[in-house]
Amino acid sequence: MKRSEKEPPVSGGTEQPVYPDALPLQARLARLLTRVIDIFYLPPFRRILPIQTFRYGACGAANMVFGWVLYYLAFHYVIRKTDLDLGFMVFSAHTAALAVVYPVIFLVGFWLNRNIAFKASPLRGRVQLIRYLLSALGSLAVNYLCLQFFVLAMKIYPTPSQMLATIVTTVYSYLMQKYFSFRGCTDK
């Protein structure tokens, strides 16, 4: 009996059909986001940035703005601009907001970097995650120190201070991702 053309193809003799659009949701989302980012990879950018660096910048910028919005919401509506007293330690409001936001930004950033910016890395996912965690802890330390400096020493309001701290942290983070977390990734 011959297969009709309307039936889906099978893979490797198994009975499970292979549908081109049956990719996991995260793979489809990564493909969509990559296509959207690549639309903006215009000739002026092509002359100065490899595609991987452009994608890293786009993912980082999106995650950064997402982080700023989350930080604002956490500072004003979760922490409510008050210090967080745990009984044995007191966190200032701006530090507590950072602690609330950071795990979300960490996970979103890892996913974006692994699936869009550095998807050609030869390292296993577990190795990438551990290295990303180490570099993220370094980024958190840089962010914390900058935030303390801008808020306490420079007397700048917490949300703009977080934005300034993010700029410093971004330079550190890019170098760590490129040469440590996703080392060996080619520009593809």
* Prediction pTM value: 0.73
CB 20 within 8 A of CB 11: no
pLDDT recorded at residue 187? 59
CB 32 within 8 A of CB 115: no
pLDDT recorded at residue 171? 84
pLDDT mean over 110-117: 94
pLDDT recorded at residue 170? 84
Rounded to the nearest 5 degrees, what angle is found at the Cα of 138, between the Cα atoms of 145 and 158? 35
- Dig out the tokens for 133 from the structure: 């965690």
Domain boundaries, the chain: 25-181
Question: What confidence category does residue 17 fall into, taking pLDDT thresholds of 50, 70 and 90?
Answer: very low
Q: What mean pLDDT, rounded, does the chain reach? A: 87
With CA atoms as reference, report the closest residue to 99 among 69, 79, 77. Answer: 79
Rounded to the nearest 5 degrees, what angle is found at the Cα of 88, between the Cα atoms of 86 and 93? 40
Q: How far is CA 90 from CA 94, 97, 144, in A?
A: 12, 13, 15
Q: What is the pLDDT of residues 130-185, one digit of tens each?
A: 999 999 899 889 999 999 999 999 999 999 999 999 889 988 988 899 889 998 87
Q: How far is CA 38 from CA 34, 35, 51, 182, in A?
A: 6, 5, 8, 20
